[in-house]
Amino acid sequence: MGNEPEVSYLEYQGRHKGIWSWLLSTDHKRIGLLYLYAVVFFFFVAATLGLLMRIELIAPGRTIMEPQTYNGLFTIHGIIMIFVIVIPGLAAVFGNFFLPILIGARDVAFPKLNLFSWYLYMTGAFLGVASQFLGSGPPDTGWTFYVPYSVESGTSVIWALTAAFILGFSSILTGLNFIVTIHRMRAPGMKWMRMPLFPWALYATAWIQVLATPIIGITLLMVIAERVLNIGFFDPALGGDPVLFQHLFWIYSHPAVYIMILPAMGVVTEIFPTFSQKPVFGYGAIVISSLAIAFVGYFVWGHHMFTSGMSYYARWFFSFLTFIVAIPSAIKVFNWISTMYGGSIDLKPPLLYAISFIFLFLIGGFTGLVLGSLATNVQTHDTAFVVAHFHYIIFGGMGFSFFAAIHYWFPKMYGRMYNNKVANIAWGFNFVGFNLLYFPHFIIGIQGMPRRAYDYLPQFQTGHVLSTIGAFILITGLILMVINLMVAARRGAKAPANPWHGVTLEWMIPSPPPHENFDEIPEITTQPYFFGSKDKNKE
Amino acid sequence: MKNDEKHISSYSSLVIVLVILLFLTTISVLVTGFHLGAFTVAVALIIASVKVYIVLTQFMHLRFENLFLRLAVAGVFVMFALITIGTFIDYFFR
């Protein structure tokens, strides 16, 4: 397989030429790259907004902007980061590119629907950014759109709600595509328990996308209806209930955390066996824990609402389940570390990022238990502690996993190798910068620093100064990392088919992959992480 | 649906289903005139669920599908029921 010279997907000329061969392509690999470029672009837009917020907070009082501008910045920073980058990121970029290859298929089940999803995604993303400039000023509700304020705010909330609604549609269609692809297009012999673990993670994720996303879609429409038509869903004066909004919002938005973290877990689960050169430890346990996280993750949304006036029994119920969901996550951590144990570890950039993922995710996870406990939640709710916690989970988890994924699969995607030394230096900046940026928030949060606050008491300044320094270190590392990869994509050394000595299917085809992935669909006869004959897989 | 089989429902059965759906819609409108307290939503959801069941089985041909697919769809409804219960644990005990 893959021994004959073939035209790669990057050089393939179909019906359309030039830019149209990308914008109208139904090739899952090209669509994956379209998502990648969009995600990177919007990430730097949102990161710049975050940096501006950090500069504002370097000292108490006004520094560079007015309070209302600050409110607009943290709102759009959140909307872009959550709905445009974090939720679709890994599944849309690496899921699109590698899911068909990893299961031995030529494409996803519905290629045209796949391209349509990207257009919906771009429409929603640009609408989100445009909401800053359209109508009556940047939305200032925060990305959570809590009522009653989101109903009463005089800013362009409707534009932002519509953007999130459209992005949700894109997510549903991608999830639907992946479910059908995994059910119907696995290579002969690839039974369920022979499927690699990144597709398993995508499968669990896709079910959440399909089942949970419509709820947020309807909820956002209800807010629009309340604003425009004065229908009383959430306004008590009209017979509505503001806590109902929080229920509906978090019924989606908590599983959304798993939409982004499950593929992240899937990515590192691919990386640890390859860079340890031994089979993944506890394949079955990882599969079951992915499904368990997806299932139990549906029923913990109430832990975002402990101070909302929710009933005592509901708080007890959701707190208990929150602790339950920690179990499958902990199983995975145990499996990853056990996979490395006794292995032939090769500390290349992908593994550095994957190990960092475990470290940062653990800090995010353990501090999540502080927030999941009823007593301590009351003390830390809506403080900077929460900001630190979710950035450790979302950026430390999904973000570092994304960086791990791009460094792991870059040679396959572009057929070029990047500079390892520069990648390692960039990792150092990113890791140090990230921790300096977010860890002080744990401390000032416990001391009482509220989240989303424009101004603060002088006692919190040390933490804010350290955090702002961390932001500059982090952005330096991110720019260095992107430049390294961009240079490599154009001028990097040619990548062999299997530079990391991996054993899953993507490493059995040329780099970059041919247009239709496989000359012949492979027949699967072994487990996916079979290193027993690894010598024959080496270049 | 099994690939080698086709299922064509008769017009009469489709019309009966349509009439049942219209009847249930009328019921769901009329029931809003009664003050059922906390059960208002429950009654509306029960009627809507019956309608969904009829649409899924009759119009969407789920009754001709294999057990796995029927269980998968049933699982979605179980999930929905659990989410509803989770929400109403708050409302009933607030």
B35 touching A (Cβ < 8 Å): no
Check CB contact under 8 Å for A301 and B86.
Answer: yes
Is B30 contained in some domain?
yes
Residue A537: per-residue pLDDT = 42
The one-character DSSP state at A523 is: P
Alpha carbon distances (Å) from B55 to A215, B52, B64: 20, 5, 13
Q: How many domains does chain B have?
A: 1
B92 touching A (Cβ < 8 Å): yes
Residue A414: per-residue pLDDT = 97
A184 touching B (Cβ < 8 Å): no
Residue B66: per-residue pLDDT = 86
- Beta bridge partners of residue A177, listed in sequence order: none
The one-character DSSP state at A94 is: I
Is B80 contained in some domain?
yes
Terminal C-alpha separation, chain B: 46
Please give the Cα distance from A202 to A290 (Å, whole number). Answer: 9
Amino acid identity of A385?
A: F
Amino acid identity of A92?
A: A
Spell out the alpha helix ranges (H) of A8-110.
20-23, 28-56, 67-79, 89-90, 96-102
Alpha carbon distances (Å) from A162 to A84, A167, A324, A474, A515: 13, 9, 35, 32, 36
Check CB contact under 8 Å for A311 and B91.
Answer: yes
**Which DSSP string do the residues of A386-409 spell out, in sequence order?**
HHHHHHHHIIIIIIHHHHHHHHHH
B91 touching A (Cβ < 8 Å): yes
Check CB contact under 8 Å for B82 and A298.
Answer: yes
Please give the Cα distance from B33 to A82 (Å, whole number). Answer: 42
Q: Nearest chain B Cα to A245, which residue?
A: B87
∠ CA(A270), CA(A405), CA(A163), 5° rounding?
A: 120
Q: By residue range, what is the domain housing residue B48?
A: 11-93
Residue A1: per-residue pLDDT = 45
Using CB atoms within 10 A of its CB, is residue B71 exposed (0-12), middle (13-18) or buried (19+)?
exposed
Residue A239: per-residue pLDDT = 87
Q: Are the CB atoms for A405 and A267 separated by under 8 Å?
A: yes
Is B89 contained in some domain?
yes
Kindly report the CATH class assigned to A30-537.
mainly alpha
- The predicted-structure confidence for A238-274, as pLDDT tens digits, reads as follows 889 999 999 999 999 999 888 899 999 999 999 999 9
- B92 contacts in chain A (CB < 8 Å): 311
- The predicted complex's ipTM stands at 0.78
Please give the Cα distance from A256 to A387 (Å, whole number). Answer: 17
Q: Which stretches of chain A drop beneath a pLDDT of 70?
A: 1-5, 533-539
| Test the A interface: residue of B90, B92, B93, B94 with most A CBs within 10 Å | B90
B68 touching A (Cβ < 8 Å): no
Among B79, B82, B89, beta carbon nearest to A314 = B89
pLDDT band of residue B1 (cuts 50, 70, 90) is: very low
pTM of the model: 0.91
Check CB contact under 8 Å for B94 and A311.
Answer: yes
Please give the Cα distance from A75 to A67 (Å, whole number). Answer: 12
B94 touching A (Cβ < 8 Å): yes
Is B3 contained in some domain?
no
pLDDT band of residue B9 (cuts 50, 70, 90) is: confident
Phi, psi of A514 (to 5 degrees): -70, 165
Residue A2: per-residue pLDDT = 44
Check CB contact under 8 Å for A311 and B92.
Answer: yes
- Beta bridge partners of residue A514, listed in sequence order: A8
Among A211, A309, A317, beta carbon nearest to B89 = A317
Please give the Cα distance from A393 to A400 (Å, whole number). Answer: 10
- Six-digit token string for A347: 């500390």
Check CB contact under 8 Å for A298 and B79.
Answer: yes
Residue A111: per-residue pLDDT = 97
B72 touching A (Cβ < 8 Å): no
**Which DSSP string do the residues of A260-305 spell out, in sequence order?**
HHHHHHHHHHHHHHHHHTSPPTTHHHHHHHHHHHHHHGGG-GGGG-
Whether the per-residue pLDDT at B2 is higher than 90: the answer is no
Please give the Cα distance from A181 to A421 (Å, whole number). Answer: 38
Please give the Cα distance from A47 to A85 (Å, whole number). Answer: 11
More confident residue, B42 or A176: A176
- A243 contacts in chain B (CB < 8 Å): 90
Q: Is the peptide bond before A350 cis (omega within 30 degrees of 0)?
A: no
Rounded to a whole number of angstroms, the distance from the CA of B84 to the nearest CA of chain A is 10
Residue B81 CB neighbour total at 10 angstroms: 12
Indicate the SS3 state at residue A524: coil
- Six-digit token string for A399: 């973000």
Question: Which residue's structure tokens are 């494409």?
Answer: A107
Can you give the three-state secondary structure of A136-148, one letter per residue? Answer: CCCCCCCCCCCCC
Indicate the SS3 state at residue A539: coil
Is B28 contained in some domain?
yes
Residue A279 CB neighbour total at 10 angstroms: 17
Instruction: Name every residue whose Cβ is closer than 8 Å to that of residue A41 and which is 6 or more positions away in sequence.
Output: none
Residue A237: per-residue pLDDT = 86
